[in-house]
Structure formats: structure tokens, C-alpha cells
Amino acid sequence: MEIFTSTFTGLIETSGFMGMGITNIIMLLLSFVLFYLAIVKQYEPLLMLPIAFGMMLTNLPLTGLYHPELWNPATNPYFAPEYVENGANILVNFTKETSLDYGRVLHDGGLLDMLYLGVKLQIYPPLIFLGIGSMTDFGPLIANPKSFLLGAAAQGGIFFTFLGACVLNLTGIAPFTLKEAASIAIIGGADGPTAIYLTSKLAPQLLGSIAVAAYSYMALVPVIQPPIMKLLTTKKERAVKMGQLREVSKVEKVVFPIAVTIIVSLIVPSAAPLVGILMFGNLMKESGVCDRLVKTAQNELMNIITIFLGITVGATAVADNFLSFKTLFIIALGLIAFCIGTACGVLLGKLMYLISGGKINPLIGSAGVSAVPMAARVSQKVGSKENPSNFLLMHAMGPNVAGVIGSAVAAGVLLSVLG
Amino acid sequence: MNIALSLLSESGGTNVIGRLQGYAEAAEQVADPDYWSSVGIISITGILVVFLILAILIFFFWLLGLIFKAVDKKKAAKKAAKAEPAPAAPAPAVEEQSSEDEDMEEIVAVISAAVAAYAEAEGTSYTIRGIKRHSDARTRSAWSIAGITDNMQKF
């Protein structure tokens, strides 16, 4: 009988219920909200569902799947004062507070810690870009290189939001460091992998909230953008029909990824992991000689990485990081970033409309925020409402894919200044 | 190349940013007298660098486009001079043909090959989503209509 009671109490003590706090319960409820968004509302479900599940797993106490403390450099025992006093400070100075004890991660880590290595070491986002590159047709952009300008203008949302986050610091409620402000601002790039890439480097503690905000707003592009587009354009501008794009030869399509990689990598080397791998995927596709590799990059590899990325990013959303005013501010700032980005794109589109003498429809400007191909579809939809025979889709694809390059470049710039 | 960024570092900009980054707390960063100026500089140089790079890309591809347009014109001129008796246009046949024929597979292969040849000539690609026999509204087959139009067009 004694043995029975002791085993029974032992079982209860090691069960999750003992470690359950109020914060865990709130986080679990939040993960249920994300399940709802993913399954019922279908907001980017391929990522939202894994994120929600990762969030649920990590907030179930004592599962040991993910250990936030392993990823916090401050808890690295080699940085403890007594260790430094013992003459190990050369190593400390060398690695500084940014470095982690990966040996400890491998020793003590759980499943999600292992998978999180791919986020921490910046492996997953570029691999997702490989898949995106192998699916993207840059033809419309090559046919109309001016689209690059719209792709650049829409990045205005990023830098405006960076300012905004810093201004919010004046309230003193939840001050953001420069690195955190930059990570929040990148939500305006409307590009999940880029946002995760930059945040995991600059402010990993915000990864969960930034990823959730970025993917939620990307799913909401068809809701967020049209009112802004209509507000900033006149009926006449929206009804503009654009001339047909010229044919792009295969040679141009092959030269494009090579040239973009070289030019961008030379100017902003820190954007090379994203832009370079994106273009690598595109070259595999356009060259037409690696069909097997392209198939893998587009399907299996992309799917595997999406699963790993989603569930581990969700796992970083532990209560300590997530339940704060910062998360609320991030959600607000993310929305501002999207709106300003859209507005900047449309406004430059308007300018181009004026300069071109009414040949360019300003609606394609809003597609400059990446969110491929959703943003381009929104341009098409809003345009065809004004004039049902108007087909803006291919024209909007130009700024749209330029936006992917633009936001990767913007991330590179922020990294090189603040990284 | 890296003008804006190097300017930032040469003028001590990176040092200021480095100093700002040295503070553990955001509040300390805000309290630094150089905080707002460096935030402004980061934002402005950021968007300028993005524009600069994409402008370089525009210039490059605009140039490339010019070259290719010129090359295409030359090619087109050559082609026009060379080939007059072009093969009949099989395009209308894409969505016509049988559904339960015994030699269905063979027909599908023939149609696909025709479409592929046509697509290659045009420099694009088509996807065949379905093949249906056209209703017997017309007395002539699609092929003969195509042949007739092709012959008639010259006059």
C-alpha cells in the first residue's frame, strides 16, 4: 500500500499539473486562438497551425521540449562572474554576451531545441527562400524594370515603423531597444522568412510575437490594403489600363538571378544569405536543367522546412516573452507598418502615373509589399472593380516580386547597421 | 558602393550606434543625447540604400532589355526573310478531340506535341488541362478549317 501511494504521489508530482501556472493557462488559451485563426479563418494555415502547436507544446509545463533558458546568453554559465575571474575572460571577451553555449543545447536540449537550431543558425529562412525562388517568375519584373521602384517604395513602411517604435519609447511603457525596433519594423516587409531571419539575429526574444503578427497581417492583406488603395487614388487612376508586357527571353531570365545576386551581395553583403539563395532557386528553375532539384526545392524541402520553422517559432512564445505590453505594441506597430508600406507604394505609383502621363496604374504600387502573390491579386481585384476588363495581375507581379528583393535588402541594411 | 553606410561609420555614426547598443536597457538608449539623431539617420539611410540598390538593378535590366530588344528585332527580321511557308496553325485544335477513343493515348500525345511545338515557337509554355471532342456543330474538322484559313490569309 505504501508503495502504491508513493508511486501515485510521485506520478502526480511529475505530472504537468504541478507546474501549471496562470501564465501557462493564458498562453494555452492564446494558442487556441491561433488554432482558430489557422483552422477556421485559414490565416496562412501552413505556418499558423505549426506556430500555434509549437506555442501550445512549449507552454505545457515540464515537457522539456523547448528550454528558453538555453537560448538566453545571460544564463550561459561561462559568463558567470566567478568563471570570468578564473582567467577565462579572454574567451568571454571574444564571444561576448551574444554567444550561446551550444554544447549545453546539445546536451540538455529537447526536440524543439534541436529544431530551433535551424532558426538560431539562420538555416530555415534562406531555405524557404530557395523554394520561393524556384517558384517565382521574375518575367514581369524583367519586362518592366521600373517596377523595382515600387518594390523599394513599399519598404518605406519598414523604416517609418522603425521610427515609430522608437517614438513609442517616449511613453515609457514598454521601451524597445534599437534592435527590437528594427525587428518589429521588418514586419512591414510583409515577408515571413525575412522577418524571422532578422528577428532571430537581432531580437530572438520577440520571435514568437513578431512571427504571429507578420503572418496574421499577411493573411489580412486583402482586408488591410483595399481601403488604403481606394483612399489614395481617384476613380480615373484606378481605371487605367496598362499596355501588354513584352516577351522576356530565356537568356534574360537566366541572367537575372545571377546579376541580382552579384549586385546585391556586393553592396549589402548581409543580404546575401536571403537574396543569394532566393536567386539560386530561381536560377535552378529558369535554367531548366535541374528539374529534379527544382521539384524538391518547391515541394518536399519547402514543406519540411515550413513545418520545422513554424513549430519552433511557435515554441519561442513562452509566457515570459509573450505576455507583455511589448506584444500589444508589436501587433499595433505591425499593422502600421503594413498600412504605411501600402500607402508608400501607392503614392509612388501615383507619381509614376503622373510622370508617365497616365500610363501606369497606381494600384500596382500596393503590390510592392512582398506577400506574394496575395498583394498582386489585391491590385487586380481593386482594379477590376473599377473596370472589369482591366487585368493588372501581371503588371502587379513585377512590384510584388521586387518587394521580396526589396525587403531582403532592407533586412540586410538593418543587419549591417545594428547587427 | 557602400557610400551611405560607410559615411555612417566614417563620421563616427557606427561608434554612436555601437555605444547605443552597449546599453543593456532601452531606456538608457533613449536617454543618450545622440539617440534621436542616430534613429533618424538609420531610417533615412536605410530607405535610401534600398532605393539605391534597386535603382542600380533597374539601370542594369533596362540596359539588358535594350540589348535584347535589338537582338530580337534582328532575329525577327532574319526569320521573316527566311521562312515563308510556315506550318499550319494547329492552335484551335487544343480543346477538341475524342474522349473514349481506343487510341486515346496516341491522340493525346500528338496534341501535346503540337501544342508544345507551337509554344516553343512562341517562347512560352502552355498547360493542357483537358481534351474534349468538339461538338459536331461544324461540318469540317478543326484541322481542315485551320488549313483553309491558313491558305486564305495570304490573299
**DSSP letter string over A69-133?**
GGG-GGG-GGGSHHHIIIIIHHHHHHHGGG---HHHHHHH--HHHHHHHHHHTT-HHHHHHHHHH
For B36, which residue in chain A has the nearest alpha carbon?
Answer: A166
Closest-CA distance, B51 to chain A, in angstroms, reads: 6
Q: Is the reported ipTM for this assembly greater than 0.90? A: no
Residue A56 lies in a domain: no
Average predicted confidence (pLDDT) for chain B: 74
Q: Which domain holds residue A159?
A: 124-418
Mean pLDDT of B80-103: 54
How high is the pLDDT of residue A78?
Answer: 65
Helix (H/G/I), strand (E/B), else coil: A388 = coil
Helix, strand, coil % in chain A, rounded to nearest 5 = 80, 0, 20
> Are A255 and A408 contacting, i.e. CB atoms less than 8 angstroms apart?
no
* Residue A53, in any domain of the structure: no
Residue A246 included in any domain: yes
pLDDT confidence of residue A214: 93
Model pLDDT for residues B93-106, shown as the tens digit of each residue: 444 444 455 567 77
- A134 and A100 share one domain: no
Q: Are A131 and A85 found together in one domain?
A: no
**Would A29 be classed as within a structural domain?**
no
* Same domain (yes/no): A81, A165: no
Residue B136: band (very low, low, confident or very high) from pLDDT cuts 50, 70, 90: low
Residues A134 and A188 in one domain: yes
CB atoms within 10 A of CB A71: 22
Closest-CA distance of chain A to residue B140, Å: 33
In a domain, A10, yes or no: no
Better pLDDT: A215 or B86: A215
For residue A37 the three cell numbers come to 485563426
Q: What is the pTM of this model?
A: 0.80
Determine the residue of chain A that is closest to B63 in CA distance. A145
Q: Are residues A130 and A219 in the same domain?
A: yes
On whether both A103 and A131 belong to a single domain, the answer is no
Instruction: Search chain B and give the residue with CA nearest A409.
Output: B50
A410 in reach of chain B (CB within 8 A): yes
Query: Could you tell me the pLDDT band of residue B123, with boundaries at 50, 70 and 90?
Result: confident
Cell 493564458: give the residue.
A26
In a domain, A204, yes or no: yes
Which residue, A60, A78, A108, sits at the end of a domain?
Answer: A108
Domains of chain A: total: 2
Contacts of B25 in chain A (CB under 8 A): 175, 177
Q: Looking at residue B10, what is its pLDDT? A: 45
Residues A129 and A80 in one domain: no
Query: CA-to-CA distance for A379 and A377, rounded, in angstroms?
Result: 5
If asked whether residues A87 and A152 sit together in one domain, one would say: no
Residue B58 is which amino acid? I
More confidently predicted of B26 and A383: A383
CA distance A48 to A57: 14
Min Cα separation A303/chain B (Å)? 25
Q: Which residue is closest to A260 within chain B, CA to CA? A: B57
Asked whether the beta carbons of A164 and A339 are under 8 A apart, the reply is no
Residues A103 and A134 in one domain: no
Q: Which residues contact A378 (CB under 8 A, 6 or more apart)?
A: A221, A222, A225, A226, A229, A366, A367
Q: Contact A417/B45, CB-based, under 8 Å?
A: yes
Closest partner residue to B58 among A148, A176, A177, by Cβ?
A148
Helix (H, G, I), strand (E, B) or coil at A207: helix
pLDDT score for A77: 66
Do A96 and A129 lie in one domain? The reply is no
d(C-alpha A225, C-alpha A366), whole Å: 7
Q: Which of A173, A333, A413, A418 to mutate to test the interface with B (most CBs of B within 10 A)?
A: A413
pLDDT score, position B82: 73
Q: Are residues A96 and A128 in the same domain?
A: no
Q: Mutation test of the interface with chain A: which of B2, B9, B47, B50, choosing the one with the most A Cβ atoms within 10 A?
A: B50
Residues on chain A touching B9 (C-beta within 8 angstroms): none
A-B interface: how many C-beta pairs under 8 angstroms?
141
The per-residue pLDDT for A408 is 94
Q: What is the Cα–Cα distance from A226 to A221, expressed in whole angstroms? A: 8
Chain B residues close to A325, C-beta within 8 Å: none
Could you give the percent of chain B with pLDDT greater than 70? Answer: 68
Q: Which residues of chain A have pLDDT under 50?
A: 90, 92-95
**What is the structure's pLDDT at B154?**
57
Residue B85 predicted with pLDDT over 80: no
* Residue-level pLDDT at A342: 95
pLDDT at A303: 95
- Does some domain include residue A62? no
pLDDT score of B153:
63
| A320 & A372 share domain | yes
Task: Report the C-alpha gap between A117 and A109 in whole angstroms.
Answer: 10
> What pLDDT is attached to residue B93?
46
Buried/exposed code over A227-256 (b: 16+ C-beta within 10 A; e: otherwise)? ebbbebbeeebbbbebeebeebbeebbbbb
- Confidence at B127, pLDDT banded by 50, 70, 90: confident
Contact flag B54-A249 (C-beta cutoff 8 Å): no
User: Does B53 sit within 8 Å of A264, measured CB to CB?
Assistant: yes
